[in-house]
Amino acid sequence: MTCKLKNNIFCVLLAIAPLLYTSCSSKKILTDASKSKPVTSGSLKDRYASLLNVKEKDLTNEKLYRFIDSWIGVPHRAGGMDRKGVDCSGFTTILEKEIYDRTVPRTAKSMAESVKRKYEEDLKEGDLVFFDFAGQKFSHVGVYLHNNKFVHASTSKGVIISDLKDPWYYKYFSRAGTIK
């Protein structure tokens, strides 16, 4: 009977060990920007101020950063519009509606054609940034934050914050602007 009890206890521990391990070590990675340190602790404003290299008082739209924080890590899914999976234009559409109460077209290409264009040095929080991937004009969209950082749904990492000046992104950067 003792052996059977030990086996049962071992089986239970074996079954819950992965849960214990993942719950202790699961922390959201906010960025894939190579020069940024992953920020996983502190208050919401503290984490995003650190990541974006701004003062906490410069982050005036707390609703935006709460929204981003709730979507970070959601996987990419073509045509997706929910937390089970989202694509870049779906994420941008939801963000623009929930945070700025603006309706935008559903595709990145249509969004790019409907913005008032801006130079990158004039970008403000909430502006849109567009990229031409795989030879397709305006095939990716993100939302500008601060200091060249933008939030988007990447195909490989899901919703994440990246750096516009990262050489990989910058070579595909094609347009930026404000929703008209």
Judged by DSSP in three states, 76 sits in strand
Q: Is 152 a catalytic residue?
A: yes
Taking the C-alpha atoms of residue 142 and residue 130, their distance in angstroms, rounded to an integer, is 7
Q: Is 11 a catalytic residue?
A: no
Taking the C-alpha atoms of residue 45 and residue 40, their distance in angstroms, rounded to an integer, is 12
Phi, psi of 53 (to 5 degrees): 55, 50
CB 49 within 8 A of CB 56: yes
Q: Is 88 a catalytic residue?
A: yes
CB 63 within 8 A of CB 99: yes
Token pair for 38: 């992953």
Pairing relationship of beta strands 115-117 and 173-179 according to DSSP bridges? antiparallel
CB neighbourhood size of 95 (10 A): 23
The C-alpha torsion from 102 through 103 and 107 to 111, rounded to 10°, is -50
User: What residues are labeled active site?
Assistant: 88, 140, 152
